[in-house]
């Protein structure tokens, strides 16, 4: 599903673009009976310093100008931009700035929902989608940290061994269903996307800041059979601080 298709599917009443480029966009839309801020990437965008700064600015402007308005991230990104210019500018700092802006919005009472409709990879996803209060994906989307051939080159683990591990554990495997099993995704959406988005926002708005702030991804991963060791390791670390 491309950007225009997902915008039409999520916002039946239409949306108003304030900025619309090939690889990123933002604007506002109506969900249910309220307005939401929409921030997105498209065409497998590379998130560089400029784009991260733009998205952070939109989040901060929303906090200042429209207190409490929900924020929806729509994501199709191949990750952070791997360019000398962006690295020399300190891309990690720009990504951190974006993540902190999202966290500030949460603390100020904005509910934040992310929807992966295309591809979601690495740093371009961590500072937006993974920072949301609730994260969803469409069934035909793709989520991954690193493909197995690249993982093999970096870790020096033979590719055939990684492929065998991927069949045993979702931690090594790309794909929406694997990230659902690991507890990262709240759900995979099919059918009426607009209704599911409205229901997600409405549900989040009934919760306290403490409830929203509690990270349940490890617990969900255990329940779904995708992460059996994470909770045990966390408990051991906390017990030996």
Q: Is residue 15 within 8 Å of residue 39, measured between CB atoms? A: no
pLDDT value, residue 89: 80
E-assigned strand segments in the chain: 15-20, 24-31, 34-41, 45-47, 71-80, 112-121, 134-138, 142-144, 187-189
pLDDT value, residue 4: 93
For residue 104, pLDDT beyond 90:
yes
Mind listing the pLDDT tens digit for each residue in 71-81?
Answer: 999 999 987 87
Query: If you average pLDDT over each of 17-26, 169-178, 223-232, which comes out highest?
Result: 17-26
For residue 193, pLDDT beyond 80:
yes
Determine what percent of the chain is predicted with pLDDT higher than 70: 100
Helix locations, 48-192, DSSP H? 49-65, 84-89, 91-107, 122-126, 148-155, 159-168, 176-181
Q: Is residue 135 within 8 Å of residue 184, measured between CB atoms? A: yes
Higher pLDDT, 199 or 184: 199
Mind listing the pLDDT tens digit for each residue in 115-151?
Answer: 999 999 877 788 888 889 999 999 999 988 777 887 8
DSSP class of residue 21? Answer: -
Mind listing the pLDDT tens digit for each residue in 15-73?
Answer: 999 999 999 999 999 998 899 999 999 999 989 899 999 999 999 999 999 999 999 99
Using pLDDT thresholds of 50, 70 and 90, give the confidence band for residue 158.
very high
Q: Is residue 187 within 8 Å of residue 203, measured between CB atoms? A: no
* Sign of the C-alpha dihedral computed for residues 71, 75, 77 and 79 taken in this order: positive
Q: Is residue 152 within 8 Å of residue 15, measured between CB atoms? A: no
For residue 210, pLDDT beyond 90:
no
For residue 172, pLDDT beyond 80:
no
Domains of the chain, earliest start first: 3-214 (3.90.226.10)
State the average pLDDT for the chain.
Answer: 90
**Tokens found for residue 216:** 């349940």
User: What would the mean pLDDT of 94-102 be, rounded to a whole number?
Assistant: 94
């Amino acid at each position: 599903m491309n950007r225009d298709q997902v915008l039409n599917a999520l916002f039946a009443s239409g949306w108003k673009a304030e900025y619309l480029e090939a690889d990123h966009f933002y604007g506002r839309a109506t969900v249910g009976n309220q307005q939401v801020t929409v921030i997105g990437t498209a065409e497998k965008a590379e998130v560089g310093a400029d784009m991260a700064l733009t998205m952070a600015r939109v989040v901060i402007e929303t906090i200042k100008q429209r207190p409490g308005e929900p924020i929806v991230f729509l994501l199709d990104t191949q990750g952070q931009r791997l360019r000398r210019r962006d690295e020399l500018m300190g891309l990690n700092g720009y990504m951190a700035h974006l993540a902190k802006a999202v966290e500030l919005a949460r603390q100020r009472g904005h509910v934040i929902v992310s929807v992966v409709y295309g591809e979601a990879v690495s740093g371009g996803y961590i500072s937006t989608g993974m920072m949301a209060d609730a994260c969803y994906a469409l069934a035909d989307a793709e989520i991954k940290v690193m493909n197995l051939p690249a993982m093999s080159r970096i870790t020096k683990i033979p590719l055939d061994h990684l492929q065998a591990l991927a069949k045993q554990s979702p931690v090594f495997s790309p794909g929406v269903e694997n990230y659902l099993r690991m507890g990262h995704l709240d759900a995979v959406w099919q059918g009426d996307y607009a209704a599911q988005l409205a229901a997600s926002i409405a549900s989040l708005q009934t919760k306290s800041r403490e409830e929203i702030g509690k990270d349940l991804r490890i617990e969900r991963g255990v329940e779904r059979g995708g992460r059996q060791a994470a909770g045990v390791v966390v408990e051991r670390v906390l017990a030996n601080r």
